[in-house]
Structure 1
Amino acid sequence: MIYRRATAADIEGMFRVRFAVQENKLSDPSLVTHEICRQMIEERGAGWVCEVGGEAVGFAIVDLSKANIWALFIEPAYERKGIGRKLHDEMVAWAFGKGLRKLWLGTDPGTRAEGFYRKAGWRAIGKEANGEIKFELEKHNFTPVQEPG
């Protein structure tokens, strides 16, 4: 597995992963365009990908302009292998390194994503109008997972 910063060339692979997920499916795919994704990784924040055999199997994107985790998705066949946590930790550490003191995100209640974020130290602070749980992570509460070795 290779972890690296995302580029515009990765967008097709990110879309493939995004549309393969079983939870937190995109309700209106027309709302997320290639151009919006490009802006997120090149202008408003940054993204990371995990690839296997040259194919993206997971990705994460942070929007610095809104201090928001915009995306973190793993292809179903690669879930529960630590990919999501590694992408999460890279993205969050980078955002905090850019001077942010806290981040927020929203995710559907009752999903594995909800449990993932709680385990990673995120704190539920309310509900969004769309029913998602709003989570917040403050820099002083962020502890990346240490890799063995």
Structure 2
Amino acid sequence: MEIREAKIEDIQQIQIVRNSVKENTLSNPNLVTDKDCEEFLFERGKGWVCEINAEIVGFSIVDVKENNVWALFLHPDFEKKGIGRKLHDCMLDWYFSQTQENIWLGTSPNTRAETFYRKSGWKQIGMHGKNEIKFEMTYQNWKNKHL
């Protein structure tokens, strides 16, 4: 298992993982284009992938322009192996090395993602979009959690 920075040639496999998930699915897979992925990976922020046997099984992407977690997804066959935690921590370590601005994300209620973020120290601050829970992480909370 290798966690590394995402490259442009990873986008096809990132899209496969994104469209394989059972929760927080896209109503229309065409809503997130390869061009969107490229923009968030290389213009707006940065991304990481987890690769096992030359196959991408998970990824995370952070947007430093909007101070937002744009994506954190795992292929369902690779859940509960600590991969999501590694991608999450790598992403937030990098984000808070760039800025001390609070970071936020939205996720559907009553999902494993909601539980994951609560256990990871994210604080619910309201609702967002189409009935998603809005979570926030502060620089101080992240640093305190990882001293």
TM-score (norm 1): 0.94
- Report what 1:68 is aligned to: 68
Matched, 1:54 2:80: no
- Percent of aligned pairs with the same residue? 51
Specify whether residues 38 and 129 from structure 1 end up closer, same or farther in structure 2 by C-alpha distance, changes over 3 A only.
closer
Note the aligned Cα RMSD (angstroms).
Answer: 1.1
Indicate the residue corresponding to 1:17 in structure 2: 17
1-structure distance, mates of 2:101, 2:129: 25
Contact 1:3–1:51 (Cα < 8 Å) also in 2 = yes
Distance 2:40 2:129 in 1: 23
Q: Is the 8 A contact 1:3 1:50 kept in 2?
A: yes
* Residue 128 (structure 1) shift: 1.4
For 1:1-149, what aligned pairs fall within 5 Å after superposition? 1-142=1-142, 143-144=145-146
- Looking at structure 1, the residues matched to 47 and 64 of structure 2 have their Cα atoms a distance apart, in angstroms, of 11
TM-aligned CA deviation for residue 27 of structure 1: 1.5
Q: CA offset at residue 95 of structure 1?
A: 0.6
Q: Deviations over 1:81-133 (max 9, x none)?
A: 00001000000110110013210000000000000000000000001141000
| Structure 1 runs, 4 residues or longer, greater than 4 Å off | none
Contact conserved, 1:67 with 1:100, CA < 8 A, in 2?
A: no
Quote the offset at 1:31 in angstroms.
1.8
CA offsets per residue over residues 1-54 of structure 1, 9 Å max, x none? 011000111001101101110000012222210001001111100000000000
| CA deviation string 1:39-73 (max 9, x = no partner) | 11111000000000001000000000000000000
Structure 2 unaligned segments of length 5 or more: list them. none
Distance (whole Å) between structure 2 residues aligned to residue 20 and residue 69 of structure 1: 19
Q: Structure 1: where are the runs of 5+ without partners?
A: none
Alpha-carbon distance in structure 2 between the residues aligned to 1:103 and 1:94: 12
